[in-house]
Amino acid sequence: MLSENMLERYAEVLIWGLNKARNKAVRKGEIVRVAFDIPAIRLAEVVQRKLIERGIHPVLRSGLTPVMEQNFYGLSDGKQLAFLAPGDRELCERLNGSIYLYAPASLTHLRDVDPGKIAAATVARKVLKDILDRRDAEGSFGWTLCMMPTAELARQAKLTEEQYEKQVVRACYLDSADPAGQWESIYRDVGEIKKRLNAMKVAFYRVEGKGTDLKITPGADRKWVGISGHNIPSFEIFLSPDWRGTEGRYVANMPSFRSGNYVAGVVLEFRRGVGSVVGADEGEEFARKQIAMDEGASRIGEFSLTDRRFSRIDRFMANTLFDENFGGKYGNCHIAFGSSYADTYRKNPASLTPAMKEKLGFNDSALHWDLVNTEPKTVTAHLVTGKREVVYDNGVFKY
């Protein structure tokens, strides 16, 4: 759907993102995996060329088609679901970077698959995720991802293909003569907001909006991060809180697609850090099964806010990468069930052991599921001194 000129710009932004996602830019002779869905094959070709021109070794991996995924989840027994191909671990130990080009041909082809089978396969592959998370924290690996518009995404978002493509182009600043330069500017501007937030000594945050009244406890040695290059686009600023301090009610008014299932209007309640689904307009049973995937799946791994001054996304896109960065009229807040991010640790993330993570309240899970609220809201920081300070109101950080 994108022109050749737009694909060239998209590829340059992705390489910018990959370099930002590491302590050092990817160097000549290093290995970068380019994973792509079949509809994104032309962008994969452009990215491959640009990596080769830089002296990098691209390793290309195509994703499964909808029929392949139906075959896998529908026909596999327990051993097949948990099977890891020879070389998977070794590749993860050697990769220096990863670029994922998401371009689904279908969003609903797995809706009749037992969510337990999808969960079993996800849990079995957590060992690979753990390797990459460790190496990411060490600074030897970085990743980024993007989305290519497809007819299916446009259909599910109830947009024409032209409208959908326009949202992608605007969101990623591909309509700029120098998109990577635009992202560098956003990176600097958001950096100032992060400095202000990280200078505060906060006991907890209170998120208040229509139907939402949620307490988020940042925990010890946390910092706000974001616009790190990991996602294109990305406008969010987030932290991985101490899951044990989460209390209250949260409404995800933005729908989401996950594992072929459509979930909308989810209402959540948290007590002593553990969340439960108390209602949903659609997909309630699926949501309950998702957060029962493993012990950490019902706990918070991320708390995020997006400033509408940076994001040009103003439509539901039927894709979490874009929907979690929604700008619109009031910005957005989202929480994620499941795994936390080590890079929100204020000290050296590479020093975090499993025991330290548990002690500090960093959550661990095979799940990471973002649930977005786009309604008007106020976020107030309750400082350790007892004072209160509004840090975010109606989609804008107060700095």
Local structure of residue 282 (DSSP, 8 states): B
Q: What is the pLDDT of residue 243?
A: 98
Q: What is the pLDDT of residue 28?
A: 97
Coil/strand/helix, residue 37: coil
- Residues of the chain where predicted confidence (pLDDT) is lower than 70: none
Residue 390: what are its φ and ψ, rounded to 5°? -70, 125
Q: What is the pLDDT of residue 137?
A: 87
Domains of the chain, first to last: 4-181 (3.40.1830.10), 191-397 (no CATH)
Q: What is the pLDDT of residue 399?
A: 78
Which tokens hold the place of 255?
A: 């729908």
Q: What is the pLDDT of residue 168?
A: 97
∠ CA 288-293-294, rounded to 5°? 130
Q: What is the pLDDT of residue 52?
A: 98
Helix or strand (DSSP H, E) at 216: strand 212-216
Alpha-carbon distance values, 82 to 62, 72, 109, 121, 346 (Å): 20, 11, 21, 5, 35
Q: What is the pLDDT of residue 24?
A: 87
Q: Would you call 201 exposed, middle or buried from its count of C-beta atoms within 10 A (0-12, 13-18, 19+)? A: exposed
- CA–CA gap between residue 58 and residue 259 (Å, rounded): 28
Distance in angstroms between the alpha carbons of the first and the last residue of the chain? 38
Q: What is the pLDDT of residue 91?
A: 97
pLDDT tens per residue, range 246-304: 999 999 999 999 988 999 999 999 999 999 999 999 999 999 999 999 999 999 999 99
pLDDT tens per residue, range 381-397: 999 999 999 999 999 99
Q: What is the dihedral of CA 46, 49, 54, 60, to 10 degrees?
A: 90
- The 3-state secondary structure of 317-350 reads CCCHHHHCCCCCCCCEEEEEEECCCHHHECCCHH
Which tokens hold the place of 387?
A: 């004072």
Average pLDDT, the chain: 96
Beta pairing partners, 389? 381
Instruction: Provide the CB-side half-sphere exposure for 157 (13 A, CA).
Output: 26
262 CB contacts (<8 Å, ≥6 apart)? 107, 108, 111, 255, 256, 282, 283
Q: What is the pLDDT of residue 285?
A: 95
Q: What is the pLDDT of residue 115?
A: 87
- CA–CA gap between residue 312 and residue 170 (Å, rounded): 6
Burial string for 42-61 (b: 16+ CB within 10 Å, else e) reads ebbebbbebbeeeebebbee
Contact 124, 84 (CB under 8 A): yes
- Strand duo 396-397 + 388-393: pairing: antiparallel
Which tokens hold the place of 206?
A: 């209170």
Q: What is the pLDDT of residue 41?
A: 97
